[in-house]
């Protein structure tokens, strides 16, 4: 299997920490038997451990490694890491329900609960959530699972047909990276709600509107 080098602009590369997180997710896919192709399994197995990528590799070495990670990721998920991270520049292509994660991943689905269920291991790995906690919330009411994701750094998004965008996230996520991401969108109207982790979650009605 030949890996064709990707032509990636300097500013489009994920950070070394993000590259390590993608490698971690791929290794988890292998452990869980989610990857069947033997060649892809071999490529993932040969990747350095995430902590090695974070602590020992230079940015340039991590970017070279990303050629393999990006290739395998697209083969498995049918999505490009780079294209997903740049989708915010094309708001006209967005409509419906999405989860946006700090690692530059934008996931779409029928509803926010089903998106989590369909990408269970990805959410768990990238957000650092305990597997038992995830399974426990899966057996509860949908809002409990959604709150778990929000509390751990997920950004809930809904885009209407007339390009009005609704965002819901914790104040912590907003200050760390969410606010910056939301500002990059050029929607007709943006409505942002900040959540308090300590308060009960009641879906979209929860949170305080802020101007952005």
77 & 94 share domain: no
For the cut 60, the answer to whether the pLDDT of residue 142 exceeds it is yes
For the cut 60, the answer to whether the pLDDT of residue 189 exceeds it is yes
pLDDT band at 91 (very low <50, low <70, confident <90, very high): low
Compute the average pLDDT of residues 159-170. Answer: 93
113 & 164 share domain: yes
Domain, as residue range, for 26: 10-84
Nearest to 72 by CA among 35, 97, 109, 101: 35
Q: What percent of the chain has pLDDT over 90?
A: 40
* Centroid of chain to Cα 140: 23
131 & 103 share domain: yes
116 & 101 share domain: yes
90 & 189 share domain: yes
In a domain, 4, yes or no: no
Dihedral sign computed on CA atoms, order 189, 192, 13, 84: negative
Three-class DSSP labels, 30-89: HHCCCCCCHHHHHHHHCCCCHHHHHHHCCHHHHHHHHHHHHHHHHHHHCCCHHHHHCHHH
Separation between Cα atoms, residue 183 and residue 198, nearest integer Å? 26
Q: How many CA atoms lie within 13 A of 177 on its CB side?
A: 9
DSSP 90-130: -GGG--EEEEEETTTEEEEESSHHHHHHHTHHHHHHHHT--
pLDDT at 203: 94
Q: 52 Cβ partners below 8 Å, 6+ apart?
A: none
In a domain, 202, yes or no: yes
What phi and psi, each to the nearest 5 degrees, are found at residue 142?
Answer: -50, -40
106 & 74 share domain: no
DSSP 136-158: HHHTS-HHHHHHHHHHTT-EEEE
28 & 96 share domain: no
pLDDT band at 3 (very low <50, low <70, confident <90, very high): very low
Nearest to 81 by CA among 65, 57, 60: 65
Number of folded domains that form the chain: 2
67 & 149 share domain: no
Distances (CA, A) of 181 to 24, 73, 139, 144, 176: 24, 23, 32, 25, 10
For the cut 80, the answer to whether the pLDDT of residue 194 exceeds it is yes
* Tokens of residue 132, six digits: 């038992």
> Which position has the higher pLDDT, 157 or 120?
157
Q: Specify the DSSP class assigned to residue 22.
A: H
* Tokens of residue 114, six digits: 């089903």
């Amino acid at each position: 299997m030949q890996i064709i080098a990707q032509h990636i602009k300097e500013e489009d590369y994920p950070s070394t920490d993000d590259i390590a997180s993608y490698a971690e997710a791929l290794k988890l896919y292998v452990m869980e038997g989610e990857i069947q192709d033997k060649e892809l399994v071999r490529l993932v197995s040969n990747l350095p451990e995430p902590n090695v990528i974070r602590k020992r590799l230079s940015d340039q070495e991590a970017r070279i490694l990303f050629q393999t990670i990006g290739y395998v990721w697209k083969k498995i998920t049918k999505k490009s890491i780079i294209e997903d991270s740049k989708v915010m520049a094309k708001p006209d292509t967005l409509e419906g329900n999405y989860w946006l994660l700090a690692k530059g991943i934008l996931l779409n689905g029928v509803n926010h609960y089903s998106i989590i269920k369909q990408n269970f291991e990805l959410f768990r790995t990238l957000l650092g959530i305990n597997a038992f906690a995830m399974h426990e919330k899966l057996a509860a009411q949908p809002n409990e699972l959604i709150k778990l994701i929000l509390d751990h750094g997920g950004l809930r998004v809904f885009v209407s047909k007339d390009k009005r965008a609704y965002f819901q996230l914790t104040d912590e996520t907003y200050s760390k990276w969410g606010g910056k991401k939301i500002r990059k969108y050029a929607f007709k109207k943006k409505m942002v709600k900040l959540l308090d982790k300590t308060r009960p979650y009641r879906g979209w009605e929860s949170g305080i509107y802020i101007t952005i």
